[in-house]
Amino acid sequence: MQSKAARLFFFAVIAMAVSTSQPSSAQQPATQGTEPMQAPGGPAYRDTQWSPDDDIQLLKSDLRSQKKQIVAANMDLTDTQAEKFWPVYDRYAAELAKVYDTKIALFQEYLDNHQTMSGDQAESYLRRRAAVEEDIMQVRLNYLPEFRKVLTGRETARFYQIDWRLDLMINLQLAQAPVINP
């Protein structure tokens, strides 16, 4: 079981995971001095049963917007850098979103079939899941030179560290799915 409070805690952990002790002055286009992101909706106290559909919708809608806010809150970009960075980030995020759509569809397929999968179907799932993870890494590698054109090496490393931490948090949320029985 997972409560709404636990899901909100998930977003708070994301924000904390990428936060630093230094104040940030990262800017999104048309935004000055974005504050570090907080969990949306405030505290929730009503327990509900874990719903994979809720988590999938959360991943598809809220998280994409929140990822950008978290990146903005944790990158220390000048106005000039922000002007160059955000168009590259938007292209990167759009390409990555396509791969994440495949990952989420695969996750949904697993949830729908994990109790009745044959051994061959389970192996097929594992291979397709591994291919999606490879695709995610390939997008990251493909965009490395693009980010490097608009950021220093250290700033590029910081961006990727933030991105990887967010990905780890998404995977942690997906890991709450039931494990296949032998």
pLDDT exceeds cutoff 80 at 86: yes
Tell whether the model's pLDDT for residue 25 goes beyond 70: no
Between 13 and 125, residue with greater pLDDT: 125
Query: What does the domain layout of the chain look like in residue ranges?
Result: 4-174
Q: CA–CA separation, 126 vs 89, rounded Å?
A: 30
> pTM above 0.75?
no
Residue 144 is predicted with a pLDDT of 98
Write out pLDDT tens, residues 26-45: 444 434 333 343 444 443 33
Query: Tokens in use for 21?
Result: 């002790």
Sign of CA dihedral 119, 122, 126, 127: positive
Token readout for 55 is 């988590």
Cα distance between residue 4 and residue 45, in whole Å: 7
What's the mean pLDDT when you consider all of the chain?
A: 77
